Amino acid sequence: MDKPLVLILCTGNSCRSQIAEGILRREVGELVSVESAGSDPAKYVHPKAIQVMNELGIDISKNRSKHLSEFLHRNVHTVITVCGNADQACPMFPGTVARYHWGFEDPAKAQGTEDEVLEAFRRIRDEIAKVFGAYGAGIRLGQREISSTLS
């Protein structure tokens, strides 16, 4: 039986959705499948996103930017959009799909010195970690409740 798929969408799939994917994967382990994609993928994962995730011990350097069409024929359980454009461009997936929109500022648009831009990436990463950490905790709690009911 396939694990439920949580699909995190953003326009470019280079920063916010990649960060959210890494954080949620760490939070839920093997309980669900977690993927990210974009409506207009950038074709790379932003180096600063990789850097700030490494600071948390999460390696997203092997991730790739994917188009959301790769998931249209998969059984998607939940779609979470992390930017407004992706929320508007999100296609309909067959079946009953839970949808959430949690918008975050795009750190790739940050301006300033190298340190200021990196600080923007850290701030957005931390905001994403709070939201997706709580969401992951809810998944873990729900799984424990299901497991205890079946025991």
Q: Which residues are catalytic?
A: 10, 83, 90
Distance between CA 142 and CA 149 in Å, rounded?
A: 11
